[in-house]
Every structure is written in structure tokens, then in C-alpha cells.
Amino acid sequence: MPLVIHPRIGKGLRRVAVLTALACFAGPAAAQAACQAPPTVKAFQAFGDSSDYFLAQNGGFESGTTGWTLSNASVGGGNESNYLHGKSDSHSLKVVAGGKAVTSTICLDTTRTGYRFFARQPGNSVGPNLHVSVRFVGQDGIAHEQQIDTLTGADYRSWAPSRFWAPSVAAQIFQAIGFTANDTASVRLVFAADNTPGPPWQLDDLYIDPYRTG
């Protein structure tokens, strides 16, 4: 299926460059649409981050994982300890060794390049690292994944927020896809645990920053 690119025309008239679906979620070509600008909250303000964020689709795991693709991963009890999304929340995502969780599609442009989430790897034993990547379709029409972060259990023995995704990574992805600063793409975040023995990872409250520019 072809890659269709539409330029953005001003802030209010952004057009989506529709990436064709990967084999695991292939379907009819998506219609041209503008990136939505959902309501935002300063979700990580308690951690010195005053940026605005919106919750990714099923990013709190309270309503299941519709839109996500899971392998050796599942939703279970135990919410992240700060309850960013709500005090009544009670679930998170568990990713065991060798497991993978892939988000639903996320609209991406050169301003919407920030994300944060909560993670932990409980226990004192050494466990698998967790790699975060962006999945996209390149100019060659093939699905690619570019790693953008690696979490180690020693830094996440208790619930803690992740680091930022550097905007420079988005620029690299746009170059690989063949986009310009005026285009918009549809990508997925991939969370993959190394296939080594040790405690599983827990993930919760995945938020996207639609305004980050640097």
C-alpha cells in the first residue's frame, strides 16, 4: 500500500500524512484527516515538568488494551503510585521477559514529539532491560523500528516517570520516512523487554505531549 503525504497548512489546518498500516493491522487506506488536539493536563507537574499532555489511547489500562498489540504482556492489578490519571485507577500493564507491547497509532509531527509514562521493575534481582522504539513505514514501504530509549531495572525499583523523547529523534524519523517539517505521520510506540531472566516490567499512564518543540 502506498505512503500518502499531505502538507500541513497552518496550525488549524494540519493534514495527516497517512502511513500504510503494518501487516498486523492492515486495512483499507485511511482517509485524510487532521491531527486531533485533545484536552491536555499538566500530568507531570509534580516532577518539575510543566508541559501539557494528553493520555494515549488506553494509556491508563483501566479499559483494557483496545488498539494495542500484546505479546507476553497483559493488564493486571496495581496502579502506578502517583495516580496521575485518577485516584480510582487500579490497573497497569505487565511485560514479562521477551514480551512486547505496541500502542495504537499516534499522530506525530515535529512539534508532537514528547511522551512520558510510569514504569517499574519490582524486586532486587537483575532483570531484563526495557527498550522503547518508534515503529513507522519508511520510504522503502517496509516497517522500521527506531530505538529511542532503554530503561534499566536499577533505576525503576519503584514507580518512576520515564525520560523525555528528544525532539532530534523525531527529525531522524521524518528524514527516514521522507517527510518534511510540514508533514504529519502515524506511528506506534513499542515497549520490548529483553528475553533474559528476571522480574517483569510494569507500565502505566502513557501520556503524549502535543506541543513540545525542543
pLDDT digits (tens, 9 = 90+) for 54-71: 999 999 999 999 999 999
pLDDT of 165: 66
Cα 134 from Cα 171, distance rounded (Å):
12
Cα 69 from Cα 53, distance rounded (Å):
23
Global confidence as pTM: 0.80
Instruction: From residue 12, give the alpha-carbon distance in Å to each of 36, 37, 47, 68.
Output: 10, 10, 31, 29
Q: Does 74 have pLDDT greater than 50?
A: yes
Give the distance between the most distant pair of CA atoms in the chain.
Answer: 52
The continuous run of DSSP H or E covering 169 comes out as helix 167-177
pLDDT of 124: 84
Convert the pLDDT of each residue in 21-55 to its tens digit: 222 222 222 323 446 678 999 999 999 998 899 99
Residue 85: which region, alpha, beta or left (left: phi > 0; alpha: psi -120 to 50)?
A: alpha
Convert the pLDDT of each residue in 168-212 to its tens digit: 666 676 777 777 767 777 889 999 999 999 999 999 999 998 776
CB 148 within 8 A of CB 172: no
- Give me the torsion for CA of 42, 212, 20, 117, rounded to 10°: -40
User: Where does the pLDDT of residue 137 fall: very low under 50, low under 70, confident under 90, or very high at 90 and above?
Assistant: confident
CB 8 within 8 A of CB 181: no
Strand ranges (E), the chain = 54-55, 69-77, 91-102, 106-108, 114-120, 130-137, 143-151, 160-161, 185-193, 201-209
